[in-house]
Amino acid sequence: MSAGSTKIVPDSQWKAPATDSAKESLTRVQNIIGDFDPDHTMKYYDHWSQHYEEDLKVLDYTVPDEMVEAMRKFISDDDWKLDGFQVLDIGLGTGQMAEALQKHLEYRGHIDGVDANEKMMEKARTKGIYRDLVQHFLLSDSPMPLHSNKYNVVVCCCSMVPALIQPECIPDMARVVKPGGIFFFTTRSTDGNIGFRDRVESQLDKLEKEGCVEKLTSKVIPQYSWPTTEDEKEKHCISAMLYGVRKLKET
Ligand SMILES: C[S@@+](CC[C@H](N)C(=O)[O-])C[C@H]1O[C@@H](n2cnc3c(N)ncnc32)[C@H](O)[C@@H]1O
């Protein structure tokens, strides 16, 4: 492998980070991989909110950047500047997605956010980028307290994994997208996540069959990477799966 290169490999072949700080960060990331247990997850984020941004820096987290790049193919740079353009960030955490939109697109329009964890949202709030932040725990039988068919763009970045937002919430997330608007999200692209990914894809297939969405893209992207040698020449990478759909009619 060439110096500084990043190769995508399955989680089953994870290599240990070479540095202590990356080891600690990776342990905190690994601890969130598990079964669906809302109480445990929220307590975990109460604590992780203090380390979250630093851990993502150490592990070279790039998903928001990759997502913005991917969306650019389907929404022109001029359209992002239209008056009244609105974005919703579901599972916004500390607001990395909003920062990526500002950095790559110089986006200055409205961004609202939904998250279950107040401490994570508090970090996002201090950045002063979001308009409305709504505390809500997404469950398939508990719709978000938001109007249907409202947002030009809805994103959910790295918040749909077994311990967090469930695939059965996808119809509710698609509900708030404006017809003609797009919905982009990720899950893990790892061998341990195959069953969960099947549930994600079956929700998308159902929406497509009902004529509610058209599929735009699905691809593997890097999620975290870290040096595995002291001189940082070799990097190990965990991958995510990115999906993008366009909404076709009101739901
Ligand atoms: C891994 S973080 C991702 C944050 C951000 N999107 C990013 O890219 O950095 C997951 C976020 O989803 C939130 N979350 C987890 N389960 C949720 C649920 N069922 N409903 C709403 N938010 C949830 C957590 O509180 C956390 O802030």
pLDDT in tens, 178-211: 999 999 999 998 888 889 999 999 999 999 999 9
Binding site membership of 92 for ligand 1 (Cβ less than 6 Å): yes
Rounded to the nearest integer, the mean pLDDT of the chain is: 93
pTM recorded for the entire structure: 0.96
What's the rounded Cα separation, in Å, for the pair 90 and 156? 5
Ligand 1 centroid distance, CA of 75 (Å): 25
Binding site membership of 67 for ligand 1 (Cβ less than 6 Å): no
- Residues of the chain with pLDDT > 90, as a percent, come to 83
Binding site membership of 25 for ligand 1 (Cβ less than 6 Å): no
Q: How confident is the model at residue 6 (pLDDT cuts 50, 70, 90)?
A: low
Binding site membership of 155 for ligand 1 (Cβ less than 6 Å): no
Domain ranges of the chain: 5-247
The answer for residues whose C-beta is within 8 angstroms of residue 146's C-beta and 6 or more apart is 88, 112, 114, 134, 176
Q: How confident is the model at residue 12 (pLDDT cuts 50, 70, 90)?
A: confident
Other beta carbons within 10 Å of 141: 7
Which residues partner with 218 through β-bridges? 243
Ligand 1 centroid distance, CA of 73 (Å): 26
Q: How confident is the model at residue 3 (pLDDT cuts 50, 70, 90)?
A: very low
In the CATH scheme, what is the code of domain 5-247? 3.40.50.150
- The pLDDT of 63-90, averaged and rounded, is 97
Return the minimum-mean-pLDDT range out of 36-40, 124-128, 154-158, 234-238: 234-238
State both tokens at 246.
């366009």
Q: Tens of pLDDT along 128-175?
A: 999 999 999 999 999 999 999 999 999 999 999 999 999 999 999 999
Q: How confident is the model at residue 233 (pLDDT cuts 50, 70, 90)?
A: confident
Query: Which atom of ligand 1 is least distant from the CA of 163?
Result: 16
Length of the chain: 251
Cα distances (Å, whole numbers) of residue 240 to 46, 160, 225:
24, 11, 12
What's the rounded Cα separation, in Å, for the pair 109 and 78? 12
The helix/strand/coil state of 212 is: coil
Ligand 1 centroid distance, CA of 91 (Å): 4
Other beta carbons within 10 Å of 58: 21
